[in-house]
């Protein structure tokens, strides 16, 4: 295995959970909702996926269960923000707390047990090609799913009527409501989709990335996913690029260390965050671009007034 | 899942009855942990020590703990809470609790405090730690023999003396069998992040390491080693379940003997403030079974372990040069504990720069 | 299903519910946690007592409640002001850290300057450090229209890593065996205490709440903030430009977070170390929102949140209840309070799905 190939493989593994969670949150935010609870949904997805994979012996079933768990744990958030028009920032933070606590509670009996790893989809012949073989083929299904979902979300948002409605709801819910679109139903579905994807991201951690369960194993990835969505100005393909950029910067930092440059590790760890701020500034300097892509209603509750 | 939930419920219920069982004259022993006991690393191992006290002295002792106690303003409250609720022996199991322990101990002169890995003592405050570097010397020697490329990858947490000492000890062990041994170090800036640790492991392998060791808590690097078909050493607990073909041995934190002894001391009224830095001989550091290695390497490891245990061998015996070639320990001399405690330089042969 | 419940905006916020809603939520939370406790095998009444009442039954515990509430009050007051102006500063945690660093410069760099003036300088630098860190997202928002939610959040991580680097490197105690920790603060470098561990910071926190009230109800700037929150376009008629308001509320909330930071370091911890706050900056967001962005609401919410931390601890000890139970419980409690709050502004009515469809089509 040569260096470039190993590097790319490591980046893919680091980027996939970010991408999965961020694509989900992107849809949520496009509908005008800010859900800061990604970390909580991810943690819940991770433990449920781990437990089900271990119990049934099928990591695939585990990943499915993790996705569902991510959506289920988002239900209180849906109830609060959509039915009761509660503040989204605070509800999201509460969801993060709740999900992390719940995952620890469920996971109590699973600490210290090796999990079941998701199988790789090797394609005989193709997987053996030099460089492109291992980089393009031979990943597990969640890696491919992350790419597929990125494309699917891009297609959905910009090529379908339903996607247009979702974006309209996020741009101006009053206008969308006046046109007869069910604002709260659209947002509810978007939040649940976000939960599914965050759950999948968690599942990726516990059945593929590092098949084990330890408390707080999400280690802040939910927050990075949130950053990514804005970094990408709510464009799916840019989320993909951003996730891989984040992953690449992080892995490059590790390489630089192993090569013995003696940089303070704190500086390397701070790089992705600084990069996000810079990118954010560069993007937001272009007002037209920002206006075209920013869900203007983000964070604002909608209540059909009469 | 349902059975696990049931088991969990049963465990909690059992813990509940233990806690409420009336214990008028029983000694109450308290613990504070910095992580969740579900971390399967540092805090988990301390909690294993707590459970060992219950098992050994359950007739005379009850124990309780506070987990996830942050190392800031909350530590003092947690300690005081334990002291106020009648705990007469309190273990504070993280370095960052040091000043809080000293403050609370002043207010509760009749309560005995035990602080892990710190250096401030008082009449009712003892400190204790384990000489993990002894185990790291052994695994260094094993790595020197097993690694075909003569290069190990080291996943490190933070550049504090404890970790630097471990790296040096590992390197000295490896050099004792392979003078040209090389080591690559990655700092993940976390004690505990399975994902990052796995990334670091993969990066180190990509850079040519064919054997991994870690000073972080999760079993993720072991899983990576298992997957890639290379060898690795476990940390904190026996990780053989995570790497049945990969684990050569593990340096295990074993707090149980110390915790039981100190509890007995309090029961007998013989507890005194002291500094304990125990290693293999005291049983505070344990080696997991030597596996996945040829017989002669296994024999060498066992002999080294025995030599350290009996005091015949000290890993930091001179001559030791630092990486700039300066002689730090003279031929035949042994480095003092004080120097070991504050170690902030690399031994010769490590080409990395120590982040400062 | 969804169309079963609809909310009707009340003509004016209900006075009855503005008090009743949190009480209802609390009652619901107590009932639900009772069920949870019972399910986990604890006697529910005793568990509830340990969790919610016991922390209030001793003077020591009340002191500790005040200590825990201090940073939440300081930061919560600042955030309430910022959120009133629709400026979403969610990076208070980073501003807290920078405040702690700036204030600690005095005892670490000039240890011999140890008098009341030095203490005043520490507090001033603390506020300045927090304000400076908050000025970055404010500047980026005003100049480049960059979303402040994200930039302020990103800066939290940067601040944390900067502190980490400082105490492991240049600001490490030279006598401390290379452990990550600064020199211990002594004499006038430690904030004076009132009772137990309650320190000067608590007084400052109460002043901050009072100041918030004064500003919002009696000052022109407070009026401008409220106007900007309701209608950004109208704000300019209040005599302040939108960017001036943004910058000022960020500076104020940053300064208060910075004060909270130096308060933690100089008031309770006594030295600088890698971890100084268990997320007060984020908890204070919840405090501000639970407190409905009002001074007295923030006051109540800060103490309530502090109570759940202390209650969780006493439950761990008395009942061997793991920390994650109280974490999940905290989340649940917040859900309920946030949910019940809707009753203040809305009336809940039930109607069949057909009605709504018809109305939505109108």
pLDDT in tens, A90-142: 899 899 989 999 999 899 889 888 888 888 887 777 777 777 777 777 788 99
Percent of residues, chain A, with pLDDT higher than 90: 53
A66 or C278, higher pLDDT = A66
Residues of chain A with Cβ-Cβ distance to C338 below 8 Å are 80, 84, 86-87, 90-91, 94
Model confidence band, residue B9 (pLDDT cutoffs 50, 70, 90): very low
**B75 in a structural domain:** yes
Inter-chain residue contact A209 with B194, CB threshold 8 Å: yes
C275 and C260 both lie in a single domain = yes
* Residue C272, SS3 per DSSP: coil
Q: Which domain holds residue B54?
A: 23-130
The reply to whether C64 and C74 lie within a common domain is yes
Contact A210 B153 (CB under 8 A): no
Give the model confidence (pLDDT) of B270-292 as tens digits.
999 999 999 999 999 999 999 99
Whether C2 and C119 map to the same domain: the answer is no
Picking from A147, A105, A118, A275, the residue whose alpha carbon sits closest to that of residue A205 is: A118
Instruction: Answer whether C328 sits within 8 Å of A89, measured CB to CB.
Output: no
Check residue B312 and give its pLDDT.
Answer: 95
Report residue C362 as tokens. 């109108």
Question: Residue ranges of the domains in chain A?
Answer: 3-293
For B96-117, give the DSSP string: GGHHHHHHHHHH-TTSEEEEET
- In this structure, the answer to whether residues B171 and B95 fall within a common structural domain is no
SS3 A293: helix
Whether B177 and B314 map to the same domain: the answer is yes
Q: Enumerate the residues of chain A whose CB falls inside 8 A of the CB of residue C10.
A: none
Name the token pair of C60.
Answer: 């020591």
Q: Is residue C329 part of a domain?
A: no
C115-123: average pLDDT:
96
Domain that holds residue C357: 1-42+336-362
Question: Which of A18-22, B129-133, C342-346 shows the lowest per-residue confidence on average (mean pLDDT)?
Answer: C342-346
- Measured between CA atoms, the residue of chain B closest to residue A53 is B1
Predicted local confidence at residue A128, as pLDDT: 73
pLDDT value of position C352: 53
- In terms of CA atoms, which chain C residue is nearest residue B77? C64
A5: pLDDT confidence band, cut at 50, 70 and 90?
A: confident
Q: Which residues of B touch A254 (CB under 8 A)?
A: 186, 188, 199-200, 203
Interface touch C317/B12, C-beta < 8 Å = no
Q: What mean pLDDT do residues A239-251 have? A: 89
Distance from the B35 Cα atom to the nearest Cα atom in chain C, whole angstroms: 10
Residue C72 in this model has a pLDDT that exceeds 80 = yes
Number of domains in chain B: 2
B294 to chain C, closest Cα gap in Å:
39
Q: Residue holding tokens 């049983």?
A: B283
Q: Residue A45 has what pLDDT?
A: 97
A29-60 pLDDT, tens digit per residue, is 999 999 999 999 999 999 999 999 999 999 99
Q: For residue C27, what pLDDT is reported?
A: 86
Q: Please report the pLDDT score of residue A291 as a whole number.
A: 65
Lowest mean pLDDT segment, chosen from A239-243, A260-264, B20-24, B171-175: B20-24
Q: Which residues of B touch C314 (CB under 8 A)?
A: 81
Do C63 and C211 sit in the same domain of this protein?
yes
Does C11 lie at the interface with B, CB-CB under 8 angstroms? no
Q: Is residue C328 part of a domain?
A: no
Q: Which residue of C has its CA nearest to A233?
A: C147
- B17 within some domain: no
| Residue B144: alpha-carbon gap to chain centroid | 22
The phi, psi pair for B153, rounded to 5°, reads -105, 135
Identify which of C2, C149, C338 has the shortest CB distance to residue A91. C338
Say if residue A306's pLDDT is above 70: no
In chain C, what percentage of residues exceed pLDDT 90? 52
Q: How many CB pairs under 8 A join A and B?
A: 142
Please state, as a whole number, how many other Cβ atoms lie within 10 Å of the Cβ of residue C195.
12
In terms of domains, do B186 and B213 share one? Answer: yes
Which H/E stretch holds residue B127? strand B125-130
Rounded Cα distance between A154 and A142, Å, is: 18
CA distance B181 to chain A (A): 15
pLDDT of A305 higher than 70 = no
Contacts of B41 in chain A (CB under 8 A): 214
Q: CB under 8 Å to A75, separation ≥6 — which residues?
A: none
Asked if residue C206 and residue C295 are part of one domain, the reply reads yes
Both C112 and C123 in a single domain? yes
Where does the pLDDT of residue B6 fall: very low under 50, low under 70, confident under 90, or very high at 90 and above? Answer: very low
User: Same domain, yes or no, for B39 and B162?
Assistant: no
| Most confidently predicted of A125-129, A254-258, C45-49, C232-236 | C45-49
**Is residue C319 within 8 angstroms of chain B, CB to CB?**
yes
In this prediction, residue B24 has a pLDDT band, given cuts at 50, 70 and 90, of: low
Alpha-carbon distance of C96 to B284, in angstroms, equals 39
Higher pLDDT, C174 or B90: B90
The CATH code of the domain that includes B31 is 3.40.50.2300
pLDDT at res. B23: 43
Burial class (CB in 10 A: 0-12, 13-18, 19+), C231: exposed
Residues B146 and B77 in one domain: no
Distance from CA of A172 to the nearest CA of B (A): 39
Is B194–A219 a contact, with Cβ atoms under 8 angstroms apart?
yes
Q: What is the DSSP-derived secondary structure letter of residue C236? A: G
pLDDT band at residue A252 under the 50/70/90 scheme:
confident
| CA dist., res. C359 & res. A182, Å (int) | 11
Q: What pLDDT, on the 0 to 100 scale, is given for residue B154?
A: 96
Selected residue with higher pLDDT from B258 and C44? B258
Least confident among B312-316, B319-323, B329-333, C315-319? C315-319
Whether C131 and C180 share a structural domain = yes
Chain-chain contact of B200 with A254 (C-beta, under 8 angstroms): yes
- Give the distance from residue C236's alpha carbon to the nearest chain A alpha carbon, in angstroms: 21
List the B89-92 sheet strands across, edge first: B61-66, B27-32, B89-92, B112-116, B125-130, B275-278
The C-alpha angle C108, C110, C115, rounded to 5 degrees, equals 110
Pair B101, B162 in one domain: no
Nearest to A105 among C146, C150, C324 (CB): C324
Q: Are residues B322 and B203 part of one domain? A: yes
Are B161 and C169 inside 8 Å of each other by CB?
A: no
Contact B77 C42 (CB under 8 A): no
Which range has the worst mean pLDDT, A161-170, B225-234, C29-38? Answer: C29-38
User: Which partners does chain B have (≥3 C-beta pairs < 8 Å)?
Assistant: A, C
Q: What is the pLDDT of residue A112?
A: 82
Fold of A3-293: ABC transporter involved in vitamin B12 uptake, BtuC (1.10.3470)
If you compute the radius of gyration of chain C from its CA atoms, what whole number of angstroms results?
A: 22
Chain B residues with CB under 8 Å of A3 CB are 206-207
| Whether residue C162 is found in the same domain as residue C135 | yes
Answer yes or no: is C326 within a domain.
no
Listed residues B73, B106, B130: the one ending a domain: B130
Give yes or no for a contact between A137 and A126, defined as CB atoms under 8 angstroms apart: yes
Which chain B residue lies closest to C58 (C-alpha atoms)?
Answer: B84
- CATH number, domain of C188, equals 1.10.3470
B95 dihedral zone (left: phi>0; alpha: psi -120 to 50; beta): alpha
Domain assignment present for residue B122? The answer is yes
Is residue B207 within 8 angstroms of chain A, CB to CB? yes
Q: Residue C355: is its pLDDT beyond 60?
A: no
In-domain check, residue C325: no
The ipTM, to two decimals, is 0.87
Please check whether residues B113 and B167 belong to one and the same domain.
no
A1 to chain B, closest Cα gap in Å: 8
B353·A216 Cβ contact <8 A: no
B68 and B202 both lie in a single domain: no
Contact A284 C5 (CB under 8 A): no
B323 lies in the same domain as B183: yes
When scoring A106, A212, A251, A269 by the number of chain B Cβ atoms within 10 A, the one with the most, hence best to mutate, is A212
Q: Are residues C34 and C48 in the same domain?
A: no
Q: Does the distance separating the beta carbons of A212 and B193 come in below 8 Å? A: no
Task: Tell the burial category of C362 from Cβ atoms under 10 Å away from its Cβ (0-12, 13-18, 19+).
Answer: exposed
Distance from CA of B33 to the nearest CA of C (A): 11
C280 lies in the same domain as C210: yes
- Count how many domains chain C has: 2
Contact of B326 with chain A, judged by CB distance below 8 Å, is answered with no
Chain A residues in contact with B200 by the CB 8 A cut-off are 254
């Amino acid at each position: 295995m040569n260096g470039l190939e190993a590097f790319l493989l490591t980046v893919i593994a680091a980027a996939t959970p970010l991408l999965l969670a961020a694509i989900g949150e992107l849809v949520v935010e496009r509908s005008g909702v800010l859900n800061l609870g990604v970390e909580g949904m991810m943690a819940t997805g991770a433990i449920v996926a781990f437990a089900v994979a271990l119990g049934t012996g099928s990591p695939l079933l585990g990943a499915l269960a993790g996705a569902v768990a991510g959506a289920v744990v988002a239900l209180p958030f849906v109830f609060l923000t959509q039915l009761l028009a509660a503040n989204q920032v605070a509800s999201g933070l509460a969801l993060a707390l709740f999900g992390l606590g719940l995952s620890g509670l469920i996971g109590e009996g699973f600490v210290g047990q090796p999990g079941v790893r998701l199988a790789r989809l090797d394609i005989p012949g193709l997987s053996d090609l030099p460089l492109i073989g291992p980089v393009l083929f031979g990943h597990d299904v969640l890696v491919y799913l992350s790419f597929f979902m990125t494309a699917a979300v891009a297609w959905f948002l910009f090529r379908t009527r339903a996607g247009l409605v979702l974006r309209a709801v996020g741009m101006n819910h009053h206008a969308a409501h006046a046109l007869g679109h069910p604002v709260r139903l659209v947002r509810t579905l978007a939040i649940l989709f976000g939960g599914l994807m965050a759950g999948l991201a968690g599942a990726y951690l516990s059945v593929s990335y590092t098949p084990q369960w330890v408390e707080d194993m999400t280690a802040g990835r939910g927050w990075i996913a949130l950053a990514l969505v804005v970094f990408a100005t709510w464009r799916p393909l840019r989320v993909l690029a951003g996730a891989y950029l984040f992953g690449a910067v992080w892995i490059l930092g590790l390489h630089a260390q192993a090569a013995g440059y003696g940089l303070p590790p704190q500086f390397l760890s701070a790089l992705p965050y600084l990069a996000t701020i810079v990118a954010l500034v560069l993007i937001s300097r272009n007002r037209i671009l920002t206006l075209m892509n920013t869900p203007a209603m983000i964070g604002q509750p909608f209540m059909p007034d009469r | 899942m349902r059975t696990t939930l049931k088991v969990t419920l049963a465990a909690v219920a059992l813990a509940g009855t233990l806690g409420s069982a009336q214990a008028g004259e029983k000694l109450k022993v308290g613990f504070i942990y910095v992580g969740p006991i579900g971390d399967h690393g540092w805090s988990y191992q301390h909690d294993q020590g707590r459970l060992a006290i219950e098992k050994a002295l359950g007739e005379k002792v009850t124990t309780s703990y506070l987990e996830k106690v942050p190392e800031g303003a909350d530590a003092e409250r947690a300690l005081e809470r334990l002291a106020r609720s009648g705990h007469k022996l309190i273990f504070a199991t993280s370095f960052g609790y040091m000043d809080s322990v000293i403050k609370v101990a002043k207010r509760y002169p009749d309560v005995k405090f035990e602080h892990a890995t710190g250096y401030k003592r008082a009449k009712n405050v003892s400190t204790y730690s384990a000489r993990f570097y002894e185990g790291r010397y052994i695994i260094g020697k094993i790595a020197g023999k097993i690694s075909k490329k003569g290069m190990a990858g080291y996943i490190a947490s933070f550049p504090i003396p404890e970790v630097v000492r471990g790296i040096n000890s590992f390197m000295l062990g490896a050099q004792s069998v392979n003078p040209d041994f090389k080591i690559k170090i990655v700092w993940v800036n976390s004690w505990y992040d399975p994902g990052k640790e796995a990334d670091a492991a993969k990066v180190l392998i990509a850079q040519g390491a064919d054997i991994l060791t870690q000073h972080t808590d999760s079993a993720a690097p072991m899983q990576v080693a298992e997957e890639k078909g290379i060898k690795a050493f476990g940390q904190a607990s026996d990780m053989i379940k995570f790497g049945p073909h990969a684990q050569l041995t593990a340096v295990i934190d074993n707090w149980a003997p110390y915790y039981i002894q100190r509890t007995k001391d309090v029961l007998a009224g013989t507890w005194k403030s002291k500094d304990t830095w125990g290693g293999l001989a005291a049983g505070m550091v344990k080696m997991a079974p030597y596996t996945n290695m040829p017989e002669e390497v296994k024999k060498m490891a066992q002999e080294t372990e025995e030599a350290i245990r009996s005091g015949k061998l000290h890993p930091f015996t001179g001559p030791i040069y630092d990486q700039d070639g300066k002689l730090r320990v003279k031929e035949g001399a042994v480095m003092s504990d004080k120097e070991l405690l504050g170690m902030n330089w690399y031994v010769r042969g490590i080409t990395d720069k120590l982040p400062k | 299903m969804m169309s079963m419940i609809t909310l009707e905006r009340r003509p004016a916020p209900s006075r009855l519910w503005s008090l009743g809603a949190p009480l209802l939520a609390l009652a619901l939370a107590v009932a639900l946690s009772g069920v949870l406790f019972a399910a986990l095998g604890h006697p529910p009444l005793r568990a509830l007592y340990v969790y919610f009442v016991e922390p209030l039954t001793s003077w020591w515990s009340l002191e500790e409640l005040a200590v825990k509430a201090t940073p939440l009050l300081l930061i919560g007051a600042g955030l309430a002001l910022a959120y009133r102006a629709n400026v979403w500063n969610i990076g208070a945690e980073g501003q807290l850290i920078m405040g702690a660093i700036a204030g600690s410069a005095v005892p670490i760099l000039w240890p011999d300057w140890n008098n009341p003036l030095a203490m005043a300088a520490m507090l001033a630098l603390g506020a300045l450090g927090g304000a400076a860190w908050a000025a970055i997202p404010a500047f980026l928002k005003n100049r480049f229209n960059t979303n402040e939610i994200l930039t302020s959040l990103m800066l939290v991580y940067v601040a944390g890593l900067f502190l980490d680097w400082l105490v492991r490197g240049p600001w490490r105690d030279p006598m401390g065996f290379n452990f990550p920790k600064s020199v211990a603060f002594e004499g006038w470098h430690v904030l004076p205490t009132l009772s137990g561990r309650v320190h000067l910071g608590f007084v400052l926190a109460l002043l901050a709440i009072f100041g918030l009230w004064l500003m919002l109800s009696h000052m022109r700037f407070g009026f401008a903030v409220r106007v900007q929150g309701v209608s950004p376009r109208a704000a300019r008629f209040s005599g302040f430009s939108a960017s001036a308001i943004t910058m000022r509320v960020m500076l104020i909330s940053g300064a208060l977070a910075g004060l909270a930071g130096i308060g933690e370091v100089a008031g309770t911890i006594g030295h600088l170390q890698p971890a100084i706050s268990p997320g007060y900056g984020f908890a204070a967001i919840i405090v501000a929102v639970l407190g409905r962005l009002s001074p007295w609401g923030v006051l109540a919410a800060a103490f309530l949140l502090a109570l759940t931390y202390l209650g969780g601890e006493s439950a761990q000890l008395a009942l061997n209840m793991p920390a994650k139970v109280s974490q999940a419980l905290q989340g649940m409690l917040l859900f309920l309070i946030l949910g019940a709050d809707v009753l203040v502004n809305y009336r809940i009515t039930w109607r069949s799905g057909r009605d709504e469809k018809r109305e939505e089509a109108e």
